[in-house]
């Protein structure tokens, strides 16, 4: 299982990369392995305001459907529209091309609630 040290994580298996006040968000390698082959992803609209913990996307696999939750509050500035045509990008590269959305963070203090790689790994081992 791949858990990059440079990312932050949530207990619900989202990863977060933050640069210049914008959070790029996806699901972890562990989550995509558990779900197995992804067949559909419903992404949020650009401009939508979300609060930490809100469901922001839905992913469906051959096994199940799952919600993706906003790890931080803010405005959705970019959904990864390429996933609509090829959801398998998440299976192939969950921490790279398989990113799901970007949020312009409105409450920087929420970043402190995210898990580091070691803490995340300890919660799933």
pLDDT for 79-125, tens place per residue? 999 999 999 999 999 999 999 999 999 999 999 999 999 999 998 86
* pLDDT cut 90: percent of the chain above it: 94
C-alpha–C-alpha distance, residues 44 and 57, integer Å: 6
Find, among 76, 18, 8, 9, the residue nearest to 43 by Cα. Answer: 76
Q: What is the pLDDT of residue 16?
A: 98
Confidence of residue 1 (pLDDT cuts 50, 70, 90): confident
Is residue 122 in a domain? no
CA–CA distance, 50 with 53 (Å, rounded to integer): 8
Question: What is the Cα gyration radius of the chain?
Answer: 13
In a domain, 2, yes or no: no
**pLDDT reported for residue 124:** 82
* Single pTM value for the model: 0.94
> What is the rounded average pLDDT of the residues 9-22?
96
Q: How far apart are CA 69 and CA 51, in angstroms?
A: 9
Does residue 69 surpass a pLDDT of 70?
yes
The total domain count for the chain is 1
* pLDDT tens profile 45-62: 999 999 999 999 999 999
Task: Determine, yes or no, domain membership for 1.
Answer: no
Any idea what the CATH number is for the domain that residue 73 is in? Answer: 2.40.50.100
Contact 79, 45 (CB under 8 A): yes
Please tell me whether residue 93 adopts helix, strand or coil conformation.
Answer: coil
Query: Is 117 a domain residue?
Result: no
- CA 50, CA 112: separation in Å to the nearest integer? 18
Please tell me what DSSP assigns to residue 43.
Answer: P
Residue 118 lies in a domain: no
CA distances from residue 14 to 89, 111 in whole angstroms, order as listed: 16, 13
Q: Considering the domain boundaries, does residue 125 fall inside one? A: no
- Does some domain include residue 121? no
Note down the domain range covering 44: 8-110
Examine residue 124 and state whether it is found in any structural domain, yes or no. no
Closest CA to 27 of 81, 94, 89: 94
């Amino acid at each position: 299982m791949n858990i990059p040290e440079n990312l932050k994580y949530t207990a619900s298996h989202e990863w977060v990369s933050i640069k210049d006040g914008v959070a790029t968000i996806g699901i972890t390698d562990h989550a995509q392995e558990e779900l197995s082959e992804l067949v559909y992803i419903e992404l949020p609209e650009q401009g939508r305001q979300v609060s930490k913990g809100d469901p922001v996307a839905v992913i469906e696999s051959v096994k199940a459907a799952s919600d993706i939750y906003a790890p931080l509050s803010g405005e959705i500035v970019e959904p990864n529209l390429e996933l609509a045509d090829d959801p398998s990008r998440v299976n192939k590269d969950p921490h790279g091309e398989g990113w799901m959305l970007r949020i312009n963070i409105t409450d920087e203090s929420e970043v402190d609630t995210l898990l580091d790689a070691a803490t995340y790994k300890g919660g799933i081992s």
